[in-house]
Amino acid sequence: MFKKILIANRGEIALRVICACKELGIETVAVYSEADQQSLHVRFADQAVCIGPARSSDSYLNIASIISAAEITNADAIHPGYGFLSENDHFAEVCEVSHITFIGPRPEAMRLMGNKDAARKKMAELGLPVLPGSGVLTSLAEALEAAQQIGYPVMVKAAAGGGGRGMRVVASSEELPHFFATAQQEAQAAFGTPDVYLEKYIASPRHIEFQVLADHYGKVVHLGERECTIQRRHQKLLEESPSTQISFEVRHEVGRQVVEALKETGYTNAGTVEFIMDENRNLYFLEMNARIQVEHPVTEMVTGLDLVKKQIEIAAGQPLDISAETVSLRGHAIECRICAENPETFAPSAGKIIGFNVPGGLGVRLDTAAYAEAVVPPYYDSLIAKLVVHGSDRAEAISRMARALDMFIIEGISTSVPLHQKIMADPDFRAGKFDTHYLSRFSRNGTG
């Protein structure tokens, strides 16, 4: 087992990794920007190293500074968390060259899964269903021809994309020239490459993902699915497990397909295989995230497994001590992402937290790095907390989340708590009637 792990991240995920390390008896190193000097991950780590100014490019994305911090503190492994460098195959390679274990998949697996077009092709070869689509397109003429073959509406998607960037819905050939160029420009700005491809657009989809763990000895286990359908501009706001749309038989069969596909690729560590579900409940492979997910706590709540500990144990060379037969989903879990932003306009809300009351009680978990008098900086993602509840069934989980949200007080900044309160009270949400457009309709109806 590792003696010391450096966490190349900030906020709640950095604290989450510190918690896992403490339980495993592993020392931790926090890295922080000048803006995060008073952050809790700095306080609770065994050591802390400042790696640069507030801007991410000068600190949390600065590979040289992070590797230097690992070397001067004698860390023998790095956990990247999610976001920042977590899916950067170059960073994983630099760790290898520096004889520091990267707690995640191999660089070649990250390269494959990081390119959506390549990942689609590979998963189709391995038997997973994929939506009709094209390869990477180099010209508008190619795009027009491909769209005609696929059939409108289509989605233009960045091959190296994520977070909804470089994505445009196109309803007709007249719209394609503008949206094709816009998606290319956005992809270039966000990911450093203009590569885009087309995919058949599903009008009323749901977003379902399967959590997997894979060790270095060929063992792959899936831990069931998460429902991640409620989103704003392709950014998830609320997740739950299990999904009301997935039967035991479908879970077993799709899980088997996912496991077999990842065995063929030689994938290791934690990963999430994401699917889009159409109106007839057909699932199609969307992409794979080669890292721990923001929403991993809902899987932990229904399985009783610590996924971050499993990541560390796998990276240390330990075999998985679980199997499909030993993993069962118990009850229902819901996670609300609490962001520092206006709940109606979604405008970021940086500033000092002047009042802070944490909800508690049976089945309530809060992952956060926020506290009273903490300053939420304007430089990073607006996520400040993840409120997670577990109940014996979905109805109890919803009631428990509504109660916990009512007891969650954050003063001094605006947060998304009021929006989540309204979602919990909405009859359509309670009945499980929603798709990825739910939030826009919800807002138009005057309830959001």
Judged by phi (left if over 0) then psi (alpha if -120 to 50, else beta), residue 62 lies in beta
For residues 70, 192, 163, 10, the Cα torsion angle rounded to the nearest 10 degrees is 20
Q: Assess contact for 183 and 136: CB atoms under 8 A.
A: no
Q: What φ, ψ does residue 250 adopt, rounded to 5°?
A: -65, -40
Residue 121: what are its φ and ψ, rounded to 5°?
-65, -45
Q: How many Å separate Cα 204 from the centre of its chain?
A: 21
Kindly report the CA angle at 298 between 291 and 205, in degrees rounded to 5? 80
Neighbours of 304 (CB within 10 A): 12
Which letter, b or e, does each residue of 222-250 get, where b requires 16 or more Cβ atoms within 10 Å of its Cβ? Answer: bbbbbbbbbbbeeebbbbbbbbeebeeee
Query: Could you give the 3-state DSSP secondary structure of residue 315?
Result: helix
How far apart, in whole angstroms, are the C-alpha atoms of residue 413 and residue 376?
Answer: 9
**Measured CA angle at 95 (ends 93, 97), to 5 deg:** 70
Assess whether 441 carries a catalytic annotation. no
Which residue among the candidates 120, 251, 291, 337 is catalytic per the annotation?
A: 291
Give the other-Cβ count within 10 Å of 357's Cβ. 11
Contacts of 229 (CB under 8 A, 6+ apart): 205, 206, 207, 208, 434, 435, 436, 438
Enzyme catalytic residues? 291
